Amino acid sequence: MIRNKLKDISISISSGLTPLRSNGEFWLNGDIPWLKTEQLGEKYIYNTNEHITKSALNKTSIKINPENTLSIAMYGEGKTRGNLSILKSPMTTNQACCNVVIDPSKAHYEYVYYYLKTQYEEIRNLSSGVRKNLNSNDIKNYPIRLPTSLDIQFSIADVLKSLDNKIEINNRINAELEAMAKTLYDYWFVQFDFPDANGKPYKTSGGKMVYNPTLKREIPAGWEVSSLWSIAKYYNGLALQKHRPTNEQFLPVIKIREMNEGFSDNTEKASINIPEEAIVSDGDVLFSWSATLDIKIWAQGRGALNQHIFKVTSNKYPKSFYYFELINYLNHFKMMAELRKTTMGHITLDHLKQAKICLPPVQLQEQIEQIINPIFGKHLLLEKENQYLRNIRDWLLPMLMNGQVTVK
């Protein structure tokens, strides 16, 4: 192994910029990808949330970074600073991204990516100033531990890449499974084309519809109106700092961070002697109702539910019903929270009571549950497999990088 500064194995290291926002010529109908640090963190980035115009490219000093550039977040509160991604298409970035083009004759860009992933905390600790920002000089001079042979770098990267590729495939399958289940649900209970007595789509085949003044739309005859509050139980988590473990047995605490990212070494611990309602198991529906509004089916193993997250259950209605009804109302909740964020910024029980929904007959709910439940099951298995693959990758990563484990 040898050590080189990052600048010594790179063709270029530079940051981007933000074209003047008030100049519509730089932004209107733009088709050139423009990346912000909030997107960094996933291994590959194929496209961006915003785009700039050719005029911005011609009239400012912003540059297009080539495919396979490494982009490192220099600014950002919380976890963002130090996040790293590989740009998989040519794109520009803002000034908070440090963009590193690796010299292929000196190092393999994927190997450098994986090495820098092991240096996340060390890179973050280089930050300075009141806002703890990184600067490009610190990144340029950061030491990189390299095998002397490019072939070995390729081999190490390929081992780790094979695990990441399988995780990405599983994520794509799960996205398709989720979309398939939601499309079916909406077809039945939003478009009202569930199978009628003859197996034909109800509304399309002329099924009787009646106007409902509460929902201000037509719904199938005989259907009722309910609320999100009425179709499920919402158990709010505990202030778990009051329930610390007293021995070696513990439950990992599920906060909003864990809900989004899974457990980590920084996850807090709680006593196993907490109410059963506060214990989360695989397959439970979680609804973060404060700050970050989100709904997920949990798949990371048993944990203790922290406050600001509901565990959503029902003794009467199947999971697919209350899960997708919450999903369909989520954007409305986000809009409400955004409008009232200076005074509220979260969803209350009253909002759940005021959220009126169409209530299909339980028989129909159970019928669609028989179709959707296996999809949920497959989704859960792939989530569990990804957790296992990530554990293997993260276990191998530092050992491959420091030479404890070799690849032939």
Q: Which domains does the chain have, with CATH numbers?
A: 2-146 (3.90.220.20), 148-197+362-408 (1.10.287)
**Across residues 178-196, what is the average pLDDT?**
96
Per-residue pLDDT for 341 more than 70? no
In this prediction, residue 292 carries a pLDDT of 79
DSSP character for 80? T
8 A C-beta contact, residue 259 and residue 294: yes
In this prediction, residue 65 carries a pLDDT of 97
In this prediction, residue 131 carries a pLDDT of 65
Q: What are phi and psi of 222, to 5 degrees?
A: 90, -10
CA torsion 238-242-246-247 (nearest 10°) is: 40
Q: pLDDT tens for residues 150-173?
A: 999 999 999 999 999 999 999 999
In this prediction, residue 262 carries a pLDDT of 86
In this prediction, residue 43 carries a pLDDT of 93
8 A C-beta contact, residue 1 and residue 79: no
In this prediction, residue 268 carries a pLDDT of 94
**Across residues 226-242, what is the average pLDDT?**
95
**Reduced to 3 states, what is the DSSP secondary structure of residue 305?**
strand
8 A C-beta contact, residue 148 and residue 1: yes
Read off the pLDDT band of 78 (50, 70, 90).
confident
**CA dist., res. 284 & res. 319, Å (int):** 9
Per-residue pLDDT for 343 more than 70? no
CA distances from 94 to 20, 38, 133, 138, 158 (A): 11, 11, 14, 18, 30
Q: pLDDT tens for residues 248-293?
A: 999 999 999 899 888 888 899 999 999 999 999 999 999 998 877 8
Read off the pLDDT band of 340 (50, 70, 90).
low
8 A C-beta contact, residue 97 and residue 74: yes
Read off the pLDDT band of 46 (50, 70, 90).
very high
DSSP character for 252? E
In this prediction, residue 102 carries a pLDDT of 97
In this prediction, residue 331 carries a pLDDT of 82
Read off the pLDDT band of 345 (50, 70, 90).
low
Lowest mean pLDDT among 124-133, 179-188, 242-251, 301-310: 124-133
